[in-house]
Amino acid sequence: MSTERSHEPRPHGIHCKPTARIFIRQYQMAPTRCTLLLLSLVAPFAHALNSLVYGPGSLEMKLLITKLAAASPGCTSSFYVGEDEKGAQKCRGLMYGKEYASANVDAEGNGKVLTTIEQLGAGLKAAEALAIVCDTEPLPENIASTLMNEAGDKLSRVVLVSRMGITRAKPAGPFGFGGGDAALQATEKTLAEVTKANGVGLSIIRVGTLKGGGPGNEAVGLSKAYDDGIGDLGTFMVSSAYDKYTIGAKLTKGDPFDFANPIVKAGRGSSFEPFDDETSRVVAAQAAVKAMSLPEPVEVSVSSAKSEQLPTDEEWAQLFGAL
């Protein structure tokens, strides 16, 4: 398949001045500042946005983005799992529960699971936003170009979910060890080049160590099947506590944070306190979905923050408006 695409750049919206780092509910945006940004987030989507989720990254992130995007009024979202019917059933169960998955059908208004190349091609042609999840693995060679070549003319935004610290990646050492971050850096560079060449805006959402993710309701978070699948009791308890007490958001422009060293990280294993290099899965997915509708591309690092409630649309507008 191939589609000829216009190389004229998409128009950008209003520019917001940089400010200090922001925590949820600790910033009040001036009434006239970034009005276009505020409207684009509070209204959640100005029209019925069609999005596609793809990539080699963590399954939980792909499913959360799909579910949250589909939950927005009038919007549709789909996720390509590959030619794996059992895998598709598992994905439906993680999003909406085992009973839903047993029907093996995507209900109207829910995230759709794609299993064939033909479905993927149709999804790309129809997509207005494309979320590519590469928080754990880079895109295979030439896939970025293929995705852009097969996308339809409606595509205006690509949202890449990547990792913190990638801009400072070092080349692989002897025998190729330690080159994972460098490969992700190469993916970011390639995507920046091909999106620019096709006049499509690229946003990058950077995440730290991911925690939590469920259980959610029909619109937010993964189902109880996700928590039930956590085999380690300690991990289960931390994940559950994170989803209850640490679902606030902190956005910081660019890529300023590095992961804690292994000793420090191990000491946090049983903690659900917020840290700059840790991120709630649900909050990261929300940020990716919100980035689909922003008037201009962004690059932000998403950190955890103390809260027992997820950010509202108004709070997301304040957070993005402060960048």
Tell whether 114 is covered by a domain: yes
For residues 223 and 67, the answer to whether their CB atoms sit within 8 Å is no
Token code pair at residue 169:
């990646």
- Distances in whole angstroms, Cα of residue 125 to Cα of each of 111, 129, 253: 17, 11, 31
Task: Kindly provide the residue ranges of all beta strands, DSSP E only, lying in 165-220, ordered along the sequence.
Answer: 201-207, 209-211
Tell whether 75 is covered by a domain: yes
Residue 200 pLDDT > 50: yes
Domain that holds residue 205: 22-321
Tell whether 16 is covered by a domain: no
User: What proportion of the chain, given as a percentage, has pLDDT over 70?
Assistant: 83
- Overall average pLDDT of the 96-117 stretch: 95
73 phi and psi angles, rounded to 5 deg: -55, 125
Tell whether 63 is covered by a domain: yes
CATH of the domain at 311: 3.40.50.720
Sign of the dihedral through C-alpha 227, 242, 320, 132 = negative
Q: Identify the DSSP state of 246.
A: B
Q: How many domains does the chain have?
A: 1
Token code pair at residue 247:
């679902």
Tell whether 9 is covered by a domain: no
For residues 129 and 258, the answer to whether their CB atoms sit within 8 Å is no
Within 8 A by CB and 6+ apart from 129, the residues are 49, 50, 51, 52, 69, 155, 156, 157, 158, 159, 292, 293
Token code pair at residue 166:
């990638």
- Overall average pLDDT of the 80-86 stretch: 94
Tell whether 218 is covered by a domain: yes
pLDDT band at 269 (very low <50, low <70, confident <90, very high): confident
pLDDT for res 303: 98
pLDDT band at 73 (very low <50, low <70, confident <90, very high): confident
pLDDT for res 11: 34
- Overall average pLDDT of the 270-291 stretch: 96
Tell whether 249 is covered by a domain: yes
Render pLDDT for 17-48 as a digit per residue (tens, 0 to 9). 333 333 333 334 444 444 555 555 555 444 57
Query: What integer best gives the mean pLDDT of the chain?
Result: 86
Tell whether 315 is covered by a domain: yes
Residue 7 pLDDT > 50: no
pLDDT for res 47: 58
